Amino acid sequence: MAIEQGIWKLAGTTGELPQKLRPTGLADEGLLEEQIMQDVSILNRDWLLIGRQVRTGFDKLIDLLAIDANGTVIVIELKRDKTPRDVVAQAIDYASWIVTLADYQLIEIYQAFAERHQRPHASLEEAFEAKFGIPLDSVTLNENHQLVVVATQLDASSERIINYLNAHAQLSINAMFFSAFEDQGNHYLSRAWMIDPDEPTQPAVRKTRKSPWNGEFYASFGDDRPWELARRYGFIAGGGAAWYSKTLAMLSEGDRVWVNIPKTGYVGVAEVMGERCRADQFMVETEQGPSRLQEIVTLNEYPHIHRSVAEGEEETAEYLVPVRWVTSFPTSQAFSEVGLFGNQNTVCKPTTPKWEHTVTRLKQAWGIN
């Protein structure tokens, strides 16, 4: 289905009609690429650019490369003067090269990119930690990859191909549409996704073998959140953006979840006692009876729970899931060793052999059956 974008200037007084801004088109997609270089959030605020005009092993140039907090590599291809079907085929061709890259090759790609384009961080390790707040060695680089086609429009055949590849070929590919508008000398850019990026999709091609999910959930508890309050009142948390809070909805009453604090270690395992809810609505038991957590913790203790959220921006709110701790430990007693699973999704269902090993080691260390 063709996607049409428009922007209207709302009337300032009663009786005036909204005015549709004049579309100007994107005559030069190179200009769009320059804007993305200045601010990658034009595409996605949770991506880190690592390459531009990256030469492949078969002497073709990938427009842009990025990674996310999980180490997933994103191939970004602008349509330019290619036909819609050609750009989809070309993105898939590039993916056949990306999947072969080792960690050190991606690190070298970023180093060349940083030097050529004078990026603020000279190494991928520095850039990754500055962007995501976690060390690069805590994730597996290029275990997954995604493809994104950037265009002003796609034909119906290309849209069918993209939908088919997502649904049946275990290939994560999406399209992003941009339109330009002008109003009294001011220029605007609007963006739309073909497939909602927050919706779960088929996993991209993996370089490592998968194991059956063992039924145990993993949770990442941000080190900027109050772990001791979470132990005392029984919750895990996430928020600030949909990427961080939506995965909490995967948890249901009765699930078991193992909790890791990035750069610290595993600190507890819990049974889920209810569904995800907004932090300002989260109830806890006190000596005086049930109370809202927001009413009994101070701003200094938990600033996230006191952050105001504008109407219509609920995805930026803090969300909590109630849990009963089977066992938990202060951060000084966190369990950490080489080879344990780590992931920056707030909650996930790991299907790697490393997860089975991690749960086994934690059960041994904590004496849990």
pLDDT band, residue 342 (cuts 50/70/90): confident
State how far the Cα of 214 lies from the Cα of 363, in Å rounded to an integer: 14
Comparing C-alpha atoms, which of 78, 70, 59, 207 is closest to residue 147? 78
- Check residue 309 and give its pLDDT: 66
Residue that is written with structure tokens 């520095």 in the block: 126
pLDDT band, residue 312 (cuts 50/70/90): low
Lowest mean pLDDT among 97-106, 110-119, 134-143, 244-253: 134-143
Claim: this prediction has a pTM higher than 0.95? no
Per-domain boundaries in the chain: 8-193, 217-366
CATH number of 8-193: 3.40.1350.10
State how far the Cα of 7 lies from the Cα of 343, in Å rounded to an integer: 38
User: 217-366 architecture in CATH?
Assistant: Roll (3.10)
Provide the sign of the torsion angle of the four alpha carbons 341, 345, 347, 348, taken in this order: negative
pLDDT in tens, 131-164: 988 888 778 888 888 888 887 666 777 777 777 7
Q: Which residue has the higher pLDDT, 139 or 211?
A: 139
CA angle, 315 then 69 then 139, to 5°: 140
pLDDT in tens, 313-323: 777 899 999 99
